[in-house]
Structure 1
């Protein structure tokens, strides 16, 4: 097995995807944020190689949007306590939707 791990994305691409993500989020008043997140994660994973195997992100914006609604409602029901777990939930969602491309 090849132990090469690297990221082959370029700075100008990262700047472009970041600006596009910000524009989408601003012009949709935050509703488009899940689409911006997914778009950027797809680019990041497309350019990431771990142990010689390229990553691929399979999550959808609609899936993330649904999770955001669920997490928001759970935060309201628990009077904000569930909000402490939101970062972990987002990392779990990202990991669940990341696979090897081959």
Structure 2
């Protein structure tokens, strides 16, 4: 008997390709300055097609919310001759994680603890 996965992904090649091309064009035409817009576009696509225990994810971040950080990280990377780039990757992942949530949570996230039985919702 096959084990049922808690995680499912239903994205297809066609929509991914279209999203990736649009994101690449946005980034290239603006010489990387509008990369936050491309990133939000791809993260929304990824979340829309990702399900955990049957619950769809949603990406709530905005490009304007990331833009200020992006400019700051770019300038710090230039000033430090690229050394600051080691911090940009984790900070970008942190921003993406903080801005990804369940579309319709079934219980407050604060009450979820791994390995602890949760009371039934009425």
TM-score by length of 1: 0.85
Q: Distance in 2 between matches of 1:4 and 1:75?
A: 39
1:43-88 Cα shifts (integer Å, max 9, x gaps): 1101100121110000000111111122234445666543321110
Determine if contact 1:46/1:56 at 8 Å carries over to the other structure: yes
- Give 2:41's match in structure 1, choosing from 39, 49, 66: 39
Which structure has the larger Rg over C-alpha atoms? 2
Q: Distance in 1 between matches of 2:30 and 2:77?
A: 23
Q: Secondary structure at the match of 1:9?
A: coil
Aligned residues, how many? 101
Quote the residue 1:96 is aligned against.
98
Higher helix share: 1
Could you list the runs of 5+ residues in structure 1 that have no partner in the other structure? none
Quote the residue 2:51 is aligned against.
49
Q: Secondary structure at the match of 2:84?
A: helix
Q: Would the alpha carbon gap of residues 15 and 76 (structure 1) be closer, same or farther in structure 2, given more than 3 Å must change?
A: closer
Could you list the runs of 5+ residues in structure 2 that have no partner in the other structure? 105-122
Measured on the aligned residues, the alpha-carbon RMSD in Å equals 2.0
Q: Distance in 1 between matches of 2:27 and 2:77?
A: 22
TM-score by length of 2: 0.73
Quote the residue 1:14 is aligned against.
16
Q: Would the alpha carbon gap of residues 45 and 58 (structure 1) be closer, same or farther in structure 2, given more than 3 Å must change?
A: same
